[in-house]
Amino acid sequence: MAGNRAPDDGADDRAPDDRVPYDRYVHAGTLHRLQQTNTGDPGEMSFLVISQIMELYFKLVDFELRTAQRALRDDEVWTSLAPLRRAALHLEGLNASWQGLRWMSPADFNRFRADLGDASGMQSAMYRQLEFRLGLKTASLIRPHRVDPEQHQALRRTLAEPSVWDDAIAVLARRGYDIPAALLERDHAVEHEPDTAVETAWADVLADDGPGNHLRLLADALTEVAEQFAEWRYRHLSAVRRAMGAKSGTGGTNGVGWLERSMNRVVFPELWSARTHV
């Protein structure tokens, strides 16, 4: 009988399909079943869990950027600031994730690297979504995702849509800045090329330090996002150098060389060059 059981004996008479409310909301049990390592090396668990954490951060940052874009398209600059600031903070958390892999030397990585097969972090669809959202667009990079039609279609949509930077530039045009129509109506699947008119507009925005200048606050929020994303790319490069030197990447890229070239593509370029003219 239930009355004869000690209150804290750990027994659970709930229905088998019932769950603790926390698990029902967070799905922690599901999350903890997703770590399926390929080897018996204990270091692989760190590598896998941290990779999964990063995937969740990619999704979270992308979610915030999409929220900010909706506000910018409605010309609600003030409303866009909160999700942009959250995105920057989430990127800080993402960057901190690399700390959990600082133990990994080339010998450590080699103990399980072969069992990764052709898998590579550069094949992450959610990371690619994030790059496209920030304006770093390369159509050829969606080809590996053709094996998953849903994933491939989602990437094609994001590739063709305006980026956060495109939406910010459109706000400038609506606020009276002289932005060429050709720039606003261009093919958004092609990466944005820096434009002097955009640079001039942002220089004017940054020069106005009045308390009511929401566009300057937008510039500040975008700057923080760009800085944190640049930090992510630098930490990625550092982690690869630490773990494998200049070896080819597991997915067939040339590893360090690929990452070094990617760092040369600047997020929100005129936001940086405009500062020279303030």
| CATH code: domain of residue 143 | 1.20.58.480
Domain count, the chain: 1
| pLDDT for 123 | 84
Q: What is the pLDDT of residue 150?
A: 94
Instruction: Check: CB of residue 184 under 8 Å from CB of residue 170.
Output: yes
Q: Tokens representing 52?
A: 């999964």
In a domain, 3, yes or no: no
Q: What is the dihedral of CA 242, 91, 226, 222, to 10 degrees?
A: -170
Check whether 250 is labelled as a binding-site residue: yes
Tokens of 185: 């109506």
Alpha-carbon distance values, 159 to 128, 134, 164, 265 (Å) = 9, 10, 12, 16
pLDDT at 249: 58
So what's the pLDDT on residue 3?
Answer: 45
Whether 37 is in a domain gets the answer: no
The pLDDT score that the predictor gives to residue 114 is 86
pLDDT of residue 38: 92
Residue of 126, 115, 110, 119 lying closest to 37 (CA atoms): 115
Three-class DSSP labels, the chain? CHHHCCCCCCCCCCCCCCCCHHHHHHCHHHHHCCCCCCCCCCHHHHHHHHHHHHHHHHHHHHHHHHHHHHHHHCCCHHHHHHHHHHHHHHHHHHHHHHHHHCCCCHHHHHHHHHHHCCCCHHHCHHHHHHHHHHCCCCHHHHHHHHHCHHHHHHHHHHHHCCCHHHHHHHHHHHCCCCCCHHHHCCCCCCCCCCCHHHHHHHHHHHHCCCCCCHHHHHHHHHHHHHHHHHHHHHHHHHHHHHHHCCCCCCCCCCCHHHHHHHHCCCCCHHHHHHHHHC
Residue appearing with tokens 């630490």: 242
pLDDT given for residue 2 in this prediction: 43
Ligand-binding annotation for 156, yes or no, is: no
Name residue 172's amino acid.
L
In a structure prediction context, what are the per-residue pLDDT tens digits for the chain, which is 278 residues long?
A: 444 444 444 445 545 568 899 999 999 999 999 999 999 999 999 999 999 999 999 999 999 999 999 999 999 999 999 999 999 999 999 999 999 999 999 999 989 888 887 667 678 999 999 999 999 999 999 998 999 999 999 999 999 999 999 999 999 999 999 999 999 999 999 999 999 999 999 999 999 998 899 999 999 999 999 999 999 999 988 888 888 877 765 555 666 776 778 778 899 999 999 999 99
- Please, are residues 204 and 177 in contact by the beta-carbon 8 Å criterion? yes
Domain annotation covers residue 253: yes
Residue 154: predicted pLDDT: 95
Determine, yes or no, domain membership for 7: no
Domain span at 207: 42-277
Evaluated on CA atoms 125, 129, 134, 139, the torsion sign reads: positive
- The pLDDT assigned to 238 comes to 87
Q: Tell me the CB-side half-sphere exposure of residue 43, using CA atoms within 13 A.
A: 15
Which structure tokens are listed for 8?
Answer: 């804290």
Residue 267 within a domain:
yes
227: nearest Cα among 272, 168, 276: 272
Residues 262 and 233 sit within 8 Å (Cβ to Cβ): yes
Is residue 247 included in any domain, yes or no? yes
User: What is the C-alpha to C-alpha distance for residues 180 and 197, in angstroms, rounded to an integer?
Assistant: 7
